Structure formats: C-alpha cells, structure tokens
Amino acid sequence: MYYSTAGRGLAYATQGTKVGFLADLRLALLFMPASTPSAPAAPLHIQPATEKDIPTIIGLAEATWEPTYRFIISKEQIEYMYRVIYTPASLRKQMRDQHHQFLLAYVDGHASGFAPYSEKPEGVYHLNKIYVLPSHQSQGLGQKLVQAVENAVREAGGRTLELNVNRHNPALAFYERQGFTQHREEDIAIGPYWMNDFVLRKDL
C-alpha cells in the first residue's frame, strides 16, 4: 500500500542484489511530503472493503505497483511479488484466512488508495501496507489512511499499531512524524530476496 513501507516510491536504497522487502508484509506509501500536507481539496471518504471490492483493490495496485518499484527492484522481482499478493485468490485468502481488514479511500467518489491491517496477539495490530494513486500524492491521503487505521484499531480494542519499513527507506521520517518509533530490526528471507526492516510501533 502503504506501503510503506510504506514510502516505497522513494525507497531507492538496495543491499547488493537483494532488496529488503516483500509487499505482503510491508507498506507502499507513495509520497514523502517535505512539510505537513494539506487535506485533499475534493471530498474524502474512507470505508471498509469487502471481497466485492477486490477488483477495485487490484486496479489500484496495478496503477501504483510498477511505477513504485521500477527503480528499486528488478522486473522479475516486481512480477514475482505482484503474483504472490495481488491475484483475486491471494486477496481472498488475505481477507478470509489471514483476517486482513482493508480500508478503501475515495476522493470525489473515485477509489484513490487503500490500507489493510490485521490483528496480532496481545493487543497489537499490524499495518500491512498503504497505497495511494500517483495522482493523489502529496495531498495528505496517506496520513488520513494511517489515522483511519488507528481509529479502527482503537475501536477494536487494540493498544499498539506496528508496521515494517525498509531500513534505508526515507519514509521512515514520515512514520516518525506520525508518532511511530523503532521497536526492533527484522531480516526475513523471502525466496531469493530479503526483507531488511525496522519494525516501528505506536501506542494508541
């Protein structure tokens, strides 16, 4: 999404031939504003997604995935990760079996971004990713999605929100401005690729 990891659109650093992230557990936040962004001028509405929204989610991923990663990872890795995460069957599994809850953002009635999150033990929730259309970058939509996830987690009784972000990703500063702090480092092998992350947390 988000993501973000968000901030994947600005994650230029790699480690040798291995890039440290897998989007199923990460974020793709597609902008890094230099200052606090203003609210979108058009009406904004954020709502929970259902399986009926899977085509919409896939459409958003198709519009953001390749532009986000083309300068960061190989074409082969882009295609591999996309196949793993964004088929209809994979998204149904995320919703049904992994209990990922997706929030869809609509700007002026048009789907413009999404953010899934999921519950972990002991009151911790994980923000899995954030995606925002390039046409809606730098308008505060990513920040609004983070806030919407935080509100949903609080309402569900969650006490902590966490996320993974590549250790060389400039989006780290964005999350710190949202109140997230470094909790630990995490290195996870995914096939021939690596996730080399900070795990950030925020008490809600």
Reported as a single tens digit per residue, the pLDDT across 38-68 is: 544 678 999 999 999 999 999 999 888 777 6
Tell me the C-alpha to C-alpha distance, in Å, between residue 108 and each of 40, 90, 97. Answer: 10, 29, 32
- Indicate if the pLDDT at residue 5 is higher than 80: no
Tell me the C-alpha to C-alpha distance, in Å, between residue 195 and each of 25, 165, 188. Answer: 9, 9, 5
The b/e string for 167-183 (b: 16+ C-beta within 10 A; e otherwise) is bebebbebbeebebeee
What number of other Cβ atoms are within 10 A of residue 51's Cβ?
13
User: Hey, what domains does the chain have and what are their CATH numbers?
Assistant: 8-203 (3.40.630.30)
Residue 188: helix, strand or coil by DSSP?
A: strand
